[in-house]
Amino acid sequence: MSDFVSNFWSIYVAGITAVSILACAILLWVTGKTKAMTSSDNTTGHVWDGDLREMNNPLPRWWVWLFVITIVFSALYLTLYPGMGAFGGKYGWSSAGQYKAEVEKGNAEVAPLYAKFTAMPVEEVAKDPKAKAIGERLFMNNCSQCHGSDARGGKGFPNLTDADWLHGGTPDKIAETLIKGRIGQMPPMAAAVGSADDVKNVANYVLSLSGGPHDSVRANLGKEKFGACAACHGADGKGNQALGAPNLTDDIWLHGYGEASVTAMINNGKVNQMPAQVDKLTPAQIHVLASYVWGMSNAK
């Protein structure tokens, strides 16, 4: 209920809840006091199948008391726990708070195990069988949704098993990526490059840098226009890890390959985001996970 943008909705929900409980109590009381008109034989006069008569007996006591207990329970529950608009209850319970407490308890229980690995350098952690098993679980739970269970990525998601790193593949850089996350942004460059024909020429020049299929005439024409891209990718097209600018000479294509894909990238740009993991993982878990990721691209 903390997402209310004004007090009106909190009061509205609390009012509806209180009125509903009160209405149930009144309904129970009224039905207990109201007497239906009956015949001398205590029937309502309704007859089915010739001789089946409806009696005017009161509700069973056990049923009435169950109804009373339900009303009392709901009132007590809404006093102790959330449910009345923005009122958090006397206990201040929330699902987020319970989740946080359970995570903290779990982290405390495994802290002694992680302490051993925290004191070890990344190279040793990456080779330790137990640490690798833990790192694999951490990867499957937090990274495989994007990078794949085999860590080979896919279109828009980097392959973590090769030596191609946008921001650097050292243990420190991998840990930094996990902690802070990354936002990769290539702005639309069509206006800076020139005409639509110039964009195609630059796309073919970019393809030529990695030896891929390209139009050599267009590539020669696009070389000079590539200067608009050199600020990030470098004059030689080898990229810049400080900016997260990809190496265009290694024939590794994160967002698609071919003239059409490269042209679309120049025209439209691209924004990619790797979410930060610092709020989900402890420093010790990040150390083990970073070691696991580093080990996948440095296996010997």
User: Is residue 232 domain-resident?
Assistant: yes
Pair (177, 282) in one structural domain: yes
Of 73, 140, 137, nearest to 110 by C-alpha is 137
User: Is residue 43 domain-resident?
Assistant: yes
CB 115 within 8 A of CB 283: no
Pair (130, 279) in one structural domain: yes
State which residues form the domain around 148.
101-181+275-297
Of 35, 26, 25, nearest to 59 by C-alpha is 35
Q: Which parts of the chain fold into alpha helices (H)?
A: 7-33, 61-80, 95-118, 122-125, 129-142, 144-147, 171-180, 190-193, 196-209, 216-225, 230-233, 259-268, 283-297
Band of pLDDT at residue 65, cut at 50, 70 and 90: very high
Band of pLDDT at residue 40, cut at 50, 70 and 90: confident
Pair (291, 228) in one structural domain: no
Name the percent of the chain lying above pLDDT 90.
Answer: 70
Give the residue from 51, 80, 109 where a domain finishes.
80
Pair (177, 281) in one structural domain: yes
Q: How many domains does the chain have?
A: 3
Average pLDDT, the chain: 90
Pair (75, 193) in one structural domain: no
On the question of pLDDT at 44 being above 80, the answer is: no
Tell me the three-class secondary structure of 170-215, residue by residue: CHHHHHHHHHHCEEEEECCCHHHHCCHHHHHHHHHHHHHHCCCCCC
pLDDT value of position 147 = 96
Mean pLDDT lowest among 55-64, 134-143, 242-251: 55-64
User: Is residue 88 domain-resident?
Assistant: no
pLDDT tens, position by position, 226-261: 999 999 999 999 999 999 999 999 999 999 999 999
Pair (32, 167) in one structural domain: no
Model pTM score: 0.72
